[in-house]
Amino acid sequence: CTSGRGIMERNVKNASKIKLLALDVDGVLTDGSLNIGAEGELFKAFNARDGLGLSCLLRSGVRVAIITGRKSAIIHRRAEELGITELYEGIKDKRKILADLAAAGGLEQEEIAYMGDDLNDLPALLYAGLACAPADASPEGIAASSFVAANNGGRGAVREAAELILKAQGKWNEIVNAYMKQGQGDSQ
């Protein structure tokens, strides 16, 4: 959780402007474990609450992008399940991808959120208008972030960021009310 009331208020203010949430994979969408066998990557574990949060963002008009340093057929499948079409793999300079996405989409830095967990995410965290980290991010990742989730990577941290954005934009109650009436068919 964030420390201090002032930080949370700043997060809410920043979150109300977000039009794009970009995410790292290992340590953010997953717990950071790399399960590799002789034939390559075997599996990654994803959190269904994170998935539903991302589906709600997409349904509410907030773009979601995945930016990862690794290449993985598994992340392609997960992105496809969730309807995420902006997937960037094998990326060394995640900040450059954020800047390219901003330029291509006519976005200001303050309209971009990024969640990362480690040293390779620092340039992107420092670029984003709303920098987010899971609770178990590196000390440097936490220091660079204005929002630190109560949950670890792969354990609901992304859902917290999604809810922060949707609540700040006044969309969360509408989503909850829609679910009270009937399921929404979101992927998890």
Q: Which of 23, 20, 2 minimizes the C-alpha distance to 12?
A: 2
- The model's confidence at residue 3, banded by pLDDT at 50, 70 and 90, is very low
Residue 53 CB-half CA count within 13 A: 22
Q: Give the model confidence (pLDDT) of 103-119 as tens digits.
A: 999 999 999 999 999 99
Beta strands in the chain (DSSP E): 20-23, 35-37, 40-43, 63-67, 86-88, 112-115, 130-133, 147-148
Instruction: Say which residues have a Cβ less than 8 Å from residue 183's Cβ, sequence separation at least 6.
Output: none
Look up the pTM and report it.
0.90
Helices (H) and strands (E) in the chain, counts: 8, 8
Q: Give the model confidence (pLDDT) of 142-175 as tens digits.
A: 999 999 999 999 999 999 999 999 999 999 999 9
Which pLDDT does position 1 carry in this prediction? Answer: 40
- The model's confidence at residue 35, banded by pLDDT at 50, 70 and 90, is confident
H-helix or E-strand spanning residue 82 = helix 73-82
More confidently predicted of 128 and 178? 128
Q: How far is CA 69 from CA 43, 109, 160, in A?
A: 17, 22, 23
Beta strands in 108-151 (DSSP E): 112-115, 130-133, 147-148
